[in-house]
Structure 1
Amino acid sequence: MEDLWKSVLAELEVEVSKPVFLTFFKPTTLVSIEKSIATISASTQITAEYIERRYYSLIKKILDRKTKENLSLVFSSETKRAREKNESGPLFARDVKNVLSKKRPTRIRQDYTFDSLAVSESNQLAFTGALEVAKNPGVKYNPLFLYGTVGVGKTHLMNAVANMLFDEDNETTVLYLTTEEFTNEVVEAIRDKTTTQLRKKFRNVDVLLLDDIQFLGGKERVQEELFHTFNTLIDKGGQIILSSDKPPQEIRKIEKRLASRFEGGLSIDIQPPDFELRTAILLIKSQKYGLTLDVETAKIAAEKIEDTRALEGFLLKLASYLSTREDKTITEKIISLLLGKVRSETKIIHPDNIIEAVCNYFNIKPTQIKGVKRDAYLVRPRHICMYLLKEDARLTYVEIGNLLGGRDHTTVMHGVEKVGKILSDSQNANEEIMLIKRKIKEDLLQ
């Protein structure tokens, strides 16, 4: 187990920055692999949650390849495991109900509940719809389709439904997957001739949560599998919750019969959080990190940071900073100091911003850059777009391929490498990229 984890860490060290590796990954250990569940331990619970949130897919990909298994990952901390060990005792001394109860579904974050979600006008409808689904799964709003840009709380609401269902009846079976993971499992099942087992896994659940459904576009075989899974779950009274960065009717290359299923329930647009909601989010989540944050200091941070995930990243940075100080008082001076270290582009660079900037620069349409034509006047902008989506938006090759008309990840890899090579040899190419990046930043600041 130790040698396996050392080999995983060796690959992670190449994939992430040195400070991230030394701070978060080096102190971790692989505790066990049992029944296709890998348990990974970090030094603190905050670190464990951070690694799970940011690097789950990367760690899973490496572990799956090395173990030749399709693993689920569970992240814990040394302090939590020590506490659980101290609390363990003779069987008769424990609550029989707790002994017999099932574990919370993997990938479901226990801290993502309805109580921990800040609510305002921007997400009120989504909150109400998700709460109704949690109270009456499979009855109303089926499927529940949540859409909006990155960091508006889609995943939080999906987890909140799962947590509420589990807390009220831990026999409820919940399966959470990203669309990329769903796709990979379907492809592997077809390759290994294990589709029967796969269907049992997907269709014998009470609640199916599928994140980032927009990446399903162009994958006909995967769409067919989801279509039949969809029908089976609905027919037997199961609940389906989907999330996307766009409404169902705007997802490209989706079969009409599947798109009609998406639109058959309740679709809700979640808007980015306003200033008041961002302040509330900081006050609520600060409790999770053991921080005493007052309203005025929270307002300072909320005014500068607009993305929800960046807000939590700021709190993590604040908690780390205070851990090195004897005086734990949070002052406006400390907030301002840390805000100075937060990148000015706290607005997330959305893939659409990059595509739009590239198209405007080369005077072409997004439909052309995503299309099948390989004319010279389109290939170069397409490669530059791939490069910027990888370098600036930090998307995976698979995600970029899905975004640009369902292209294979090897095609994207070739495009990115080609632009990188050109940039190393051509000053004009560097200036061109700089102009496009400048336009992207200007658009974000508007």
Structure 2
Amino acid sequence: MPVDTARLWKTILDQLELQVTKGTFVTFFLPTKIVGLENNVATVGCNSAVAVMLMETRYYALIKSHMDKLTGQNTSLLFKIVSTKSTPPASMGPLFNSAPVTPNRAVAAHLRPDFIFDTYAVSGTNHMAYAAATAVASSPGTNYNPLFFYGGVGVGKTHLMQAIGNEVLVKKPNTKVIYCMGEEFTNDIIDAIQTKTTKKFKDKYRSAQILLIDDVQFLEGKIRVQEEFFHTFNAVQREGGQIVLTSDRPPHEIDRLEERLKSRFEGGLLVDMQKPDFELRCAILRIKAQQKGVDLSMPITQILAATSDSVRRLEGVLTKLLTEVKIKSLPLTEDLARAVAGQPAANGQSSQATSVSPKDVTEIVIRRFNLSLSQIKSAKRNRPLARPRQVLMYLLRTQLELPLEEVGTWVGGRDHTTVLHAVDTITHLLSTNAQLREDVEWIKKEAFG
């Protein structure tokens, strides 16, 4: 007698709904379906590579246990991406009537849909940060308010912060979530003052139920902006809203930050986020590769993980490796990974990576943006100069891996906090600004081939 796979899968989903978080269930499990069941092998259709990765790596045993119990067989599971645009039949029950959160809600809140808890690798170095973030997402406004993450570039602060917003939107889609960088908040208040629209500004930020401010250290030294942020902070907290902040250093080390703001920040939970250890870097790389539909072997993963303790640098190396494989139709081998990572090949020979100097990168940047060397190194902060300057600092830091102080010195004597801010700003904008992404890719191709 043929198995009713739709009913079978609905029964399994009913069980899984009780065993995983609501955000995970709605985002990844709810859009799935059995697309084939033959010879005790069940093929499950998912709507994304991330979903496939999670099913295979985190939930395989759990799903299989339910499948075996219901079928009375020792089953195997295969997961693949399939179209899930068609509407499930009404007979499948009310469970399928709850539509998952659409990416539009995340986009409207300026959140990356892939920055969720299930794609965040956890180890001893970031377990406390992860636990605090999930607690806040479960009960916003009651646990750890504000929640303040601090640490260097590429330690996962933005990912965790945005995961909170995404999780809340899955559970309560109508929640007003606002994510922005400290620079954006500053620009908004300046524009509001100049255009006499401060009421609109206040209505926007003070009504937030979840307020996520990235790189709050950018408020340093800006008295008028700090005053408005102080009142915004109080208004959100007074109405029971949750505030999450990130910075490159703890509040007491942010110079020229008003004491009353330092006091507010330190009134919640401060979490020091350390550089990821080797095991965590391996886990992150495998997750990032699986999001791109690639199953990275452990030897290749370890080669890449040894290149840097910066997650952003690791992502860059992984992207470069997968690009080489795709464009040049090369096999994904350990020797290719060593070459891309700049490590000696297995036979002892070094890769022939071209040596690129800060001067080379600078000349290409100013050529792309039609600027002079004196302009890009000047003290002027107007946008036509500031953005190309940030691109230059971003490339010097992420591609040449120059120390922060050296980058700052090269670009007109800036301090390390300015460099950190530039790297964070460009990293954030690359995911949303197509023109900037095109500019950076062109520069990288010219400079590094």
SS in 2 for 1:149: coil
Structure 1 residues 116 and 99: alpha-carbon distance in aligned structure 2, compared to 1, 3 A threshold? closer
Give the CA deviation at 1:103.
Answer: 2.5
Counterpart in 2 of 1:386?
414
Q: Which runs of 5+ in 1 are unaligned?
A: 1-44, 47-82, 359-380, 400-446
Asked if 1:322 is matched to 2:325, the reply is yes
SS in 2 for 1:196: helix
Shifted more, 298-307 versus 131-140: the winner is 298-307
Cα distance between partner residues in 2 of 1:146 and 1:246:
9
What is the identity, as a one-letter code, of the residue corresponding to 1:386?
R
Contact 2:141 2:241 in 1 (8 A): yes
Structure 1 residues 110 and 229: alpha-carbon distance in aligned structure 2, compared to 1, 3 A threshold? same
**Structure 2 residue aligned with 1:87, among 85, 98, 106?**
85
Give the CA deviation at 1:394.
Answer: 8.7
Cα distance between partner residues in 2 of 1:98 and 1:137:
23
Deviations 1:228-285 (A, max 9, x none): 0100111111000000000000001111111100100000100111111111111111
Counterpart in 1 of 2:339?
337
Deviations 1:63-103 (A, max 9, x none): xxxxxxxxxxxxxxxxxxxx99x9389xx9xx765399772
Structure 1 residues 115 and 337: alpha-carbon distance in aligned structure 2, compared to 1, 3 A threshold? same
Structure 1 residues 260 and 353: alpha-carbon distance in aligned structure 2, compared to 1, 3 A threshold? farther
What is the identity, as a one-letter code, of the residue corresponding to 1:254?
L
SS in 2 for 1:176: strand
Cα distance between partner residues in 2 of 1:388 and 1:168:
39
SS in 2 for 1:268: strand
Q: What does 1:135-214 align with in structure 2 at a 5 Å threshold? A: 135-214=138-217
Cα distance between partner residues in 2 of 1:342 and 1:290:
29
SS in 1 for 2:186: helix
Q: What does 1:370-385 align with in structure 2 at a 5 Å threshold? A: 384-385=412-413
Structure 1 residues 342 and 141: alpha-carbon distance in aligned structure 2, compared to 1, 3 A threshold? farther
**Structure 1 residue aligned with 2:125, among 122, 127, 131?**
122
What is the identity, as a one-letter code, of the residue corresponding to 2:184?
E
SS in 2 for 1:249: helix
Counterpart in 1 of 2:311?
308
Give the CA deviation at 1:152.
Answer: 0.3
Deviations 1:315-362 (A, max 9, x none): 2222222223556x421011012113598986844545666xx6xxxx
Q: What does 1:140-289 align with in structure 2 at a 5 Å threshold? A: 140-289=143-292
Give the CA deviation at 1:183.
Answer: 0.2
Contact 2:405 2:416 in 1 (8 A): no
Give the CA deviation at 1:388.
Answer: 9.8
Cα distance between partner residues in 2 of 1:246 and 1:388:
12
SS in 2 for 1:304: coil
SS in 2 for 1:241: strand
Structure 1 residues 213 and 349: alpha-carbon distance in aligned structure 2, compared to 1, 3 A threshold? farther
Shifted more, 263-272 versus 342-351: the winner is 342-351
SS in 1 for 2:243: strand
**Structure 2 residue aligned with 1:134, among 132, 137, 140?**
137
Cα RMSD of the aligned pairs, angstroms, is 3.5
Runs of 4+ residues over 3 Å off in structure 1: 86-89, 95-102, 341-355, 386-390, 393-397
Counterpart in 1 of 2:99?
98
What is the identity, as a one-letter code, of the residue corresponding to 1:166?
L
Contact 2:101 2:170 in 1 (8 A): no
Counterpart in 1 of 2:370?
none
TM-score by length of 1: 0.58
- Aligned pairs, how many? 289
Contact 2:115 2:159 in 1 (8 A): yes
Cα distance between partner residues in 2 of 1:348 and 1:262:
32
Alignment identity in percent?
41
Contact 2:304 2:318 in 1 (8 A): no
Cα distance between partner residues in 2 of 1:107 and 1:117:
19
What is the identity, as a one-letter code, of the residue corresponding to 1:226?
F
Shifted more, 345-354 versus 207-216: the winner is 345-354
Q: What does 1:69-84 align with in structure 2 at a 5 Å threshold? A: none
Structure 1 residues 203 and 342: alpha-carbon distance in aligned structure 2, compared to 1, 3 A threshold? farther
Deviations 1:145-172 (A, max 9, x none): 0000000000000011111111111111
What is the identity, as a one-letter code, of the residue corresponding to 1:338?
V
Structure 1 residues 208 and 349: alpha-carbon distance in aligned structure 2, compared to 1, 3 A threshold? farther
What is the identity, as a one-letter code, of the residue corresponding to 1:203?
R
SS in 2 for 1:115: helix
Cα distance between partner residues in 2 of 1:389 and 1:260:
22
Cα distance between partner residues in 2 of 1:100 and 1:120:
28
Cα distance between partner residues in 1 of 2:174 and 2:289:
32
Contact 1:127 1:157 in 2 (8 A): yes
Contact 2:303 2:341 in 1 (8 A): no
Counterpart in 2 of 1:11?
none
What is the identity, as a one-letter code, of the residue corresponding to 1:142?
N
Look at both structures and tell me which one has the larger radius of gyration over its CA atoms: 2
Cα distance between partner residues in 2 of 1:342 and 1:257:
51
Structure 1 residues 158 and 343: alpha-carbon distance in aligned structure 2, compared to 1, 3 A threshold? farther
SS in 1 for 2:413: helix
What is the identity, as a one-letter code, of the residue corresponding to 2:337?
I
Give the CA deviation at 1:191.
Answer: 0.6
SS in 2 for 1:150: coil
Cα distance between partner residues in 1 of 2:295 and 2:101:
37
Shifted more, 176-185 versus 95-104: the winner is 95-104
Contact 1:119 1:277 in 2 (8 A): yes
SS in 2 for 1:309: helix
SS in 2 for 1:175: strand
Structure 1 residues 319 and 343: alpha-carbon distance in aligned structure 2, compared to 1, 3 A threshold? farther
Q: Which runs of 5+ in 2 are unaligned?
A: 1-47, 50-81, 91-95, 343-352, 357-396, 426-449
Structure 1 residues 164 and 295: alpha-carbon distance in aligned structure 2, compared to 1, 3 A threshold? same
Q: What does 1:45-56 align with in structure 2 at a 5 Å threshold? A: none
Counterpart in 2 of 1:110?
113
Structure 1 residues 350 and 229: alpha-carbon distance in aligned structure 2, compared to 1, 3 A threshold? farther
